[in-house]
Structure formats: structure tokens, C-alpha cells
Amino acid sequence: MTAAPDDRQSVEQAAFFYRGPSQVIADGVVFLPSFGTCTAFLCDDRILLVDTTVAQVAPRALDDLRSNHSQAPIETIVYTHGHIDHTTGAETFLADAQARGHPRPRILAHRDLPARFDRYRLLAPQNDFINRVQFNLPETAHPFSNANLVYPDDVYSEALVTTVGGERFELYHARGETDDETWVWCPARRVLCTGDTFVWSSPNAGNPYKVQRYALEWAQALQAMAALRPLHLLPGHGPALSGEDRIQDALLTTAAFLRSIHDQVVAKMNEGKWLEDILREIDYPPTDKPWLRPIYDHPEFIARNVYRLYGGWYNGDPADILPAHSGDIARELVGVCGAEPLLARARALRDAGDLQIACHIADFVRKGDPDNRDAWLLWRDLFTARIGQETSLMARGAFHSAVREAEARLKELGG
Ligand SMILES: [Zn+2]
């Protein structure tokens, strides 16, 4: 299949925005590489569909399937997890069944998936907001408020065997990116559908904007997948991967990457260390494989999430257990030091290449002296520079939001 691209731009494109025509991966296995992907298993005169992609893309995927591959009824749809880029296309496939006079497809998922949908409904405006930050989307984007969530018809707990057109499919649950994950194994064709357990980037096991992820169980799931020795791996995002040895390498190096971060965080927690020291001391494993590049999540975020899973939120600084607001602290500091010396020091740090500390110093001034134009100008320039240096899309999302806020403040302040 598609060779692993080697520069950042093309990896990003392949991993997250790849939409190609359908591909026949093995006999009767149609891969629809959308955002996220769908896979149709043609089984005699029936279809099993793994994931439904996102609502906006689903009509194209359906049209491709129907025009180029099969008119058969979709008997079963499996959701690999509840994320909207994998589930909101369901209505398109259900409408197709109705229009063709086919029986309604049965939707299968893990038992924790409906609770996820309930939470998306409860927190739709918050999820809209946080997705606009994470993905640098315009104010008009409301992906969760506009989502049509089709709940599964049947759920299972640990594993489920289902047959479609006489063919056996094995569904396995594992917690990883989400708590409601399913990966699908088709033993007769040795095809593995990983869902987002494999997405051609450093695992999304640390997302700073979202709920808990599960690095260790994720690693264990990857090892369980590898033990089946798949011939084809169909990921939740990005191109298919074929070849037994390449797949072993991809699954097992990803598992080792997650385990390394997990085990180091646990060891340092057991030494009585606080999070910021753990983050600084970790020997992060290499990310030089095409499927481990930190283009989406970031290894440091994964370490934070391991700590969050096992520990509390207290950071070890007694001033922070019942803290003042950061704006009040900044006002005091600016009152004592003056805005100008702080900004001068931040510029000097920037010029010396230390954008990280420069941002912290500038942060005191933009909070402690919110009408200071120079502080906002520097804030904007610092994060514009960091956007250019950072590979992690999630980190860049926060940097973009800093630039947007600075531009809005500068407009308000005029001059
Ligand atoms: Zn996804």
C-alpha cells in the first residue's frame, strides 16, 4: 500500500486528511479511506461494515461502495468507538438500507459506547468549544451540537463473535484512546481493523483537551492484535498497511513506545516524585518510525495522562493546593517588577531561542497588565513562532488560540 511519507506535511496529510478512492485490500475487503476510515467486508450476499466515517464524508464512501463494489444489504455495522468521525455517518448507511428496501442494519458496539453518546449530548456546547481550540476551527463550527448520534442496537462486554453471510468476525474490547473501543479481527482473511488504536501517529493517549486515555491497556491491545499475525491492518485513520512483518513492527513498536512512557511514569511516581519533575526526567522513547511521529498527540501529554490515571491533580506546590487566581498573582508581580523589565526579559529569552520561558514571563504581563499592547504583541509573536516549530497538532491548537486571543485584544486596544 501507500508508502509511508517522509516529510511532516505529507505525513500529516496521509494520517488525518487522507481521502482516496476505495481500495480492495484482500478478496472482498473494501477499504474506504475517509476521515475516519470505513471497511466493508463482502460476505456472500451480505456486508459487515466497520465504522461509518463522519457524516459529511459518508455519502461519498457509500456511493463508492455501491457504485464500485456491492449492492448487497449491510447486515451489521460495528462501531470501533464512539468518536463522531467514526459514527456520525451511520444515518447515511441506514437511509441507504431504507431506500433499497433492505432490512435495517444492526449496529454493534461496546457496552460503554452509549454512555459516551449520552455525555456528548450533555456537554455538546463544551465539546464544540474544545474542538474549535484543539483543531483550530472557526467560531461557526459546532461539530457536537450538529451531530446525529445513532445509538447501537446491541452491545457486548469483553469479546463477541458474530457471523455475517456465514463468515466469522471477532470483536474485542480494549481501553485505549477511549473506554469503549472495539477492534475487529476477520480470521479467514487475516484482516485487522484497529479503529483508532493505530492511526499513523504517536498514539493519542494524552490528549490535553479530553477525557482519560489508557496507555497500558492500549499497549496490551496492540500486543494482542500482533499475536494474531494479521496480513492486513486497516487503521482508523490513514492508509492501510499490508505485510505480516511490517504489521508486527508497527504494532509492537507502538506498544513498546506506550509501555516505556507508562512504566517510567509509574516508577517515578513510586519514587515519590511530582508531575513536573517526572515530565522532565523521563527518557522519552524514539519517535522515528512513520507511525510514531508526534504529529497529533505529544509524548509528554501521554506521560501526563498516565499520571492523571493513577494520581490526583495536586502538583506538589503547597501554594497551589488552594491557589489565588493566576491573574491576581500576575498583577502583584507586575506591580513589583514593572511590565517593561518583564517584557524586556521575555524578548531577550526569545532572541536567545528560549520561547518556552519567554511565554511564561510574557504571560505575567498580559494577565497582570491586560491593557498593555506590547505584552499582547509579544504574546502573539511568541506563539506564532511556536506554531512554526511544533509538530503536535494538539499543542499547535493551543498556540493558535493564543494568537487569536492576542489579535482580538489588540483590535480592542486600538492604536
Ligand atoms: Zn478517529
User: pLDDT of 158-174, one tens digit each?
Assistant: 999 999 999 999 999 99
Ligand 1 center to 360 CA (angstroms): 33
Centre of ligand 1 from the C-alpha of residue 378, in Å: 35
- 53 Cα–ligand 1 center, Å: 9
Q: How far does the centroid of ligand 1 lie from the alpha carbon of residue 84, in Å?
A: 8
Grid coordinates of 75: 447486515
**pTM as predicted:** 0.93
DSSP character at residue 312: -
Place of cell 463544551: 126
C-alpha triplet 87, 89, 182: angle, nearest 5°: 25
Taking the centre of ligand 1 as the mean of its atom positions, its distance from the CA of residue 280, in whole angstroms, is 30
**SS3 of 209, please?**
coil
Q: Dig out the grid coordinates for 359 from the structure.
A: 511565554
CA distances to 109, 125, 126, 143, 267 from 122, rounded to whole Å, are: 20, 9, 9, 14, 37
pLDDT tens digits along 84-109:
999 999 999 999 999 999 999 999 99
pLDDT of residue 34: 87
CA of 186 to the centre of ligand 1 (A): 21
Instruction: Say how many Å lie between the first and final Cα of the chain, rounded.
Output: 55
167 CA → ligand 1 middle, Å: 27
CA of 297 relative to ligand 1 center, distance in Å: 13
287 CA → ligand 1 middle, Å: 21
- Cα of 237 to ligand 1 centre, how many Å? 6
370: exposed, middle or buried (Cβ count in 10 Å: 0-12, 13-18, 19+): middle
pLDDT, residue 197, reads 97
23 CA to centre of ligand 1 in angstroms: 19
26-30, 57-61, 83-87: the lowest-pLDDT one = 57-61
Q: What number of residues does the chain have?
A: 415
Predicted local distance difference test score (pLDDT) of residue 201:
94
Distance 236 CA to ligand 1 centre (A): 6
What is the rounded distance in angstroms from the CA atom of residue 157 to the CA atom of residue 110?
A: 6
What is the DSSP-derived secondary structure letter of residue 168?
A: E
**pLDDT tens, 192-244?**
999 999 999 999 999 999 999 999 999 999 999 999 999 999 999 999 999 99
Query: What distance in angstroms lies between residue 85's CA and the mean position of ligand 1's atoms?
Result: 6
Structural domain spans, the chain:
8-258, 324-413
pLDDT, residue 4, reads 30
What's the CATH code, domain 324-413?
1.25.40.880
Cα of 131 from ligand 1 centre, angstroms: 13
Domain 8-258 has CATH 3.60.15.10: yes
Question: Ligand 1 centre and the CA of 204: distance in Å?
Answer: 10
Radius of gyration for the chain, computed over Cα atoms and rounded to the nearest angstrom: 24
Q: Enumerate the H helices of 172-315 as residue ranges.
A: 215-227, 244-270, 275-281, 299-310
321 CB-contact burial (10 Å; exposed 0-12 / middle 13-18 / buried 19+): exposed
CA 410 to chain centre: 32
pLDDT exceeding 70 applies to what percent of the chain?
A: 95
Q: Using CA atoms, how far apart are residues 17 and 36, in angstroms rounded to an integer? A: 9
Strand pairing class (46-50; 74-78): parallel
pLDDT at 30: 98
Distance 332 CA to ligand 1 centre (A): 44
If you count DSSP H runs as helices and E runs as strands, how many of each does the chain have, helices first? 15, 13
Q: Is 384 helix (H, G, I), strand (E, B) or coil?
A: helix
User: Distance, CA 93 to ligand 1 centroid (Å)?
Assistant: 18
Q: What is the pLDDT of residue 206?
A: 96
> Does residue 167 sit in helix, strand or coil?
strand
> What's the mean pLDDT in 24-34?
95
| pLDDT of 11 above 50 | no
DSSP of 42-70: EETTEEEEE----TTTHHHHHHHHHHHT-
All cell numbers assigned to 322: 488552594
Q: Which amino acid is at 375?
A: A
Helix (H, G, I), strand (E, B) or coil at 181: strand
Q: Among all chains, which residue has been given the C-alpha cell 498527540?
A: 297
**pLDDT score for 199:** 94
pLDDT, position 352: 98
Q: Is the peptide bond before 101 cis (omega within 30 degrees of 0)?
A: no
Task: Give me the pLDDT at residue 169, please.
Answer: 98
Alpha carbon 374 to its chain centroid, in Å, reads 36
C-alpha grid cell for residue 337?
517588577
- 181-186 vs 191-195, strand pairing mode: antiparallel
* Residue 359 φ/ψ, nearest 5 degrees: -65, -40
